[in-house]
Structure formats: structure tokens, C-alpha cells
Amino acid sequence: MRYGEPLSDARTPLADFFRILLIVKRMNDVFGKLQCLLVQEDEVGRQGGVVNS
């Protein structure tokens, strides 16, 4: 009788771990872009609606 688990079962927790890391990275990317847009919008508002090029 063999001891162990099928490789597909053993890889599942590791795959879940990396999937979570990818989700967190994507969320950071999205929130970073959103924050950048909000800061730019705030700066434009402080300048009286004039956009500097």
C-alpha cells in the first residue's frame, strides 16, 4: 500500500497561495492607479481647474 496523496491534491494549496498573491498584486495595481488619478484630480482642483501640460 502506497502512502501519499495524488500530486494534483498536493499542488492545490500551493496553487491557491500563488493565486492569492496574484490577486493581491492586481488589487495593489488598481488601487495605485486609482490613487494616482485622485491625486491628479485634487491637484487640478487646487489650481482652479487649469491643467498644466
Summarised one tens digit per residue, pLDDT across range 2-25 is: 666 666 666 788 889 999 999 999
For 37, the grid coordinates are 488619478
Q: What is the mean pLDDT of the chain?
A: 80
How would residue 46 be classed by pLDDT, with cut points 50, 70 and 90?
A: confident
| pTM for this prediction | 0.54
- Half-sphere exposure (Cβ direction) of 21: Cα atoms closer than 13 Å: 6
pLDDT at 6: 67
Alpha carbon separation from 1 to 4, 10, 11 (Å, rounded): 10, 18, 22
How would residue 47 be classed by pLDDT, with cut points 50, 70 and 90?
A: confident
Cα–Cα dist 36/29, whole Å: 11
pLDDT at 1: 57
